[in-house]
A and B are shown apart, each in its own frame.
Chain A
Amino acid sequence: MIFDYSWLQSFFKKKLPTPQEMAEVLTQHGFETQLAGQVFDVSIPPSRAGDCLSHLGLAREIGAILNYRLNYSVDPKKIKAGKTGFKVSVVDSELCPRYGLSAWSGITVGDSPAEITSRIKAAGQRPINAIVDLVNYLMLETGQPIHAFDADKIRGSITVRLSQAGEVFVSLENKKYRLPKGLLVVADQAGILALAGLKGGIQAEVTRETKNIMVEAANFNSRIVRQAVKEFDLRTEASWRFENGLDPSWVDFAQRRLRDLGQPILKPDKIELVADIYPKPVRDKSISLDLTWMRQLLGVKISTQQTEGILKRLGFKIKVISSRKLKVEVPSWRLDIQAPEDLVEEVGRLYGYDQIKSDPPQALLIPPQVNHARFWQRVVEDLMVHLGMNETYQYSFLSARELSLFGYPEAQAVELANPISARYQYLRFSLLPNLLKSARENSKRFGQVELFEIGQTFYRPDRERWTLAGVLFDHQADQEKFYELKGVVESLIERLGITDAWFDDYQAEDYFGGSKTWHPSHRAEVKVGSKVVGFLGEIHPILADRLGFQNPVFAFEIDLGQLIELASEQQEYQPISPYPAVIRDLSVLVPETTSIEKVIYVADLTGGDLVRDVDLVDVYQDKQLGQGKSLTLRVVYQSTEKNLSALDVNKLEQKIIKAFQQEGWYLRQPDND
């Protein structure tokens, strides 16, 4: 809210500190303040919106902080009830705890005095006419919204009631609102005069010609006002105050203040009270405060006297019960003070948190628990970085267009009810769309782009999947890049100590691989046991083209949660054999469709314990070979018990060759060159 420095000054005889100093003081006491010339823009915290959205409210707070006496009073004399015969009724006192109405007759509406117009202008409002300015001024001063109706335009009596479905309300701006059932309205016998706490209607609008007014000061329930605000997505100065809850005692106070202020301006013949309906007066609230507990919570020894002083400055009334207990009576406007901890805050806040000295907590020396997922996340991140991948964070949102482009089923994606824009309508089903977009951007500046991200992906019904994805792009890439990609995934699996992971042909099923994402014949599933934990491959050329890539781009996406569950830190030490290893290469010709994994597997299995390792060192494909491919395997023979002789190795090698022959694979003589 905007506050005028000189207006605030008017509440004190004593000179206030400079505007700069005031801004600092307010900020330090919980009212974040920006200074703009002679006015302050203060963010009133929601807890204080009930009593501080007014110059009087903030002045009260300033008085408490600076220990200044407030120089402000209102004539306590009640407005006399007149015999107007005008009927007012409130249907539900829950929703309208107090309703006050006074009748001002024979008024003259001119321009407002300069003091009023200059102050409401400083506070950011536009002067209109003496009545409107007056009620606005009153609200800015006291925090109580006031509404003035032209008394001659009200037909019959006034009822505060709930709206019927389909009722129409026409606002001051001549805007029509069709109401749902159950909003609180102020109505006469013909129609709706005002949306309670929100907006006045055109029907009983006051103008310069107005002679008689009905002035309403009411206390409306914050919930019902909020309901109307939400219904019409409309917030007004009045609703802003009602929404936070107001002190019902202000209803009477505001009427009296308006009388003091308005009499010389509007010059009415008379002011009479029409109604003050307040069936369940709010009783004074008192809270007992345990000083020992308070000192312990704040961690500072504030004396009883200091505590009393602070609370009194804030308007609380104190009764000392014992050396450690106070009975604190809460001022009616402090609706936010409900429990002793609220008093602790008040004392701490005004005592000053900067006065509280640091005091390290005393706690049991318990080492923090190891977070398994977090531990492995670091391992994975570090590994990715070692492999040359760069980490990114992307937004967690996707558009409908992206879902369909990648072939993710829309029905499985989590949709937002209120997206920022169509671009961010869905929660990401996969990390890849945004990661690829980012790779594409980077490819304009880098020859090679290697990115990864770890983050949540989302699917229906409102579930999350902790996911790792990576993208490799190279302006010079060829099919070999697939194996670089696979190498990254293999390193990951190895680093996590997972032994039963393998790569399988892609089978389209309803897990998280998008149907249009992968190249139909350059893609694979990552499996652990029989579970699919991820995908890797070349991005579908059509998709890559749509995304703006001019060269093949490769990616993997893995369910990191599943993978990490299987991770194991236990590394079993394999004794190093004291006997030398014998290394021999075998070149074998196999059909093109035979998987290399199978050939290695046959060699490994046939060789048994004495074959320590089988590696692929070369793949050769050539027209001369027809439909086959030539593989060169490097076989490492080693025993942990003895020196293997040439004869031993020959025997093993023959065994492997024989096993190959049974599969229909034949040896090629290694070239002599």
Chain B
Amino acid sequence: MDFNKVGKEAQEAINKCRDLSELEEISRRYLGRKGVVTSAFQKIAELSHQEKREQGRQLNQLRGKLEKEIEQKRQGLKDSFFQEKSERKIDISRPGKRFKAGHLHPLTQVVRRIEDIFQLMGFSVAEGPELETEYYNFDALNIPADHPARDIWDTFWVKGAKKGQKNLLRTHTSPNQVRYLEKNHPPLRIIVPGMCYRHEATDRTHGFQFMQVEGLMVDREVSLANFKAVVEKFCQMFFGPETEIRIIPDYFPFTEPSVEVSIRDKDGRWLEIMGAGLVHPNVFKSVGYRPYEWQGFAFGVGVERLAMIKYGLDDLRQFYQGDLRLIQQF
């Protein structure tokens, strides 16, 4: 067998080869089980010792060379194949395939954000019942029966009374100031989110059902300036770092002084977002604290209001219509 000739032929075949399957065919032809080179190895068994050594060496050389050449060619063919393939462009403008996922209600997203921000400032999240007693909703908050201030909160009363105790749907989350103070010792910082109800006509900005978040901080010394710092931080984290706030007087029986907090919108108008103030000593008194021993601030923020400002909605009732066309935008 002429090794040179075989080697040359094989080399030519490899050089000419244009695709992988042809290359594998060449590989089989020379190096396969019945291939030219493999058969030659079988034949040298019949030769003399001397020839065996000589031809064996040459055959090994040839096999090694072919293996190397084929492998090189293989890599080359693969590379150009992938290169060619990579040049085919896909249409990236075609819409992506969407996976089905639901949506969290915007009010939930707003409440979560409020909770997260206040938790960063050390406020714990507490809860209280929606079906409240007259005591917690009014009396304990320095709003005795027959007090004209009760008219601020048009109330849904529940039918039937037990032992003169009337139940109602809470008109605000403030009863939880009292509930929490009764069971915990200051210093403390809490927020209480929850649904509230008022017996009033609904319009774009008023609902008979709405969500509020109550806030309360109690310590030995808590000032209005402290409240201002906390609420400013909150507003900047919620609405953006440039947010401006304004604090003006307001009236609530359970805070003294009482204030109203507004933020400035794009058009320079002030939008009211919460009522607040320093906890009235009578509230501390009704939970059995010695008056003037503790101080605190409290606030109540309307969740729908924040959501409307944040997302640019103009009708509060939309939040309660369960319309997927709205919810799926959030």
Taking beta carbons and an 8 Å cutoff, which residues of A are in contact with B? 27-30, 45-49, 222-223, 226-227, 243-244, 293, 296-300, 339, 341-342, 344-345, 348-349, 353-354, 356-361, 363-369, 371, 373-374, 378, 381-382, 384-396, 414-420, 424, 427, 434-435, 438-439, 441-442, 445-446, 449-452, 455-456, 458, 461-464
Contact = CB atoms under 8 A, between A and B. Distances in A.
B175 to A, nearest CB: 14
Interface in B198-252: 199, 208-209, 211, 217, 219, 221-226, 228-230, 232-233, 246-251
Q: Is the interface of B mostly helix, strand, loop or mixed?
A: mixed
A374 to B, nearest CB: 5
Interface of B: 100-105, 107-108, 112, 115, 119, 122-127, 129-131, 146, 148-149, 151-152, 156-160, 162, 167, 169, 187, 189, 195, 197, 199, 208-209, 211, 217, 219, 221-226, 228-230, 232-233, 246-251, 253, 256-259, 278, 280-281, 292, 295, 319-325, 327-328
Given A30-B251, A456-B130, A393 B157 contact: no
A252 B66 CA distance: 126
Contacts of B156: 416, 418-419
A415 B256 contact: no
A49 B148 CA distance: 9
B228 to A, nearest CB: 5
B208 A420 contact: yes
Given A297-B295, A358-B229, A464 B130 contact: yes
A29 B151 CA distance: 22
Nearest to A293: B292
B250 A45 contact: yes
A446 B280 CA distance: 52
A446 B323 CA distance: 11
A371 B176 CA distance: 15
Contacts of A373: 127
Contact of B230 (A357, A360, A435, A446): A360
B223 A456 contact: no
Contacts of B232: 358
Contact of A381 (B100, B108, B119): B108
A450 B324 CA distance: 9
A14 B77 CA distance: 99
B157 A417 contact: yes
B130 A396 contact: yes
Contacts of B130: 396, 456, 458, 464
Given A46-B253, A359-B225, A416-B169, 10 more contacts: A297-B223, A344-B256, A353-B247, A353-B259, A360-B233, A361-B229, A393-B320, A416-B159, A438-B323, A449-B324
Nearest to B279: A341
B197 A357 contact: no
B259 A450 contact: no
A363 B189 contact: yes
A345 B103 contact: no
B211 to A, nearest CB: 8
A391 B104 contact: yes
Nearest to A386: B101
B115 A394 contact: no
A222 to B, nearest CB: 7
B256 A341 contact: yes
Contacts of A30: 248-251
B104 A396 contact: no
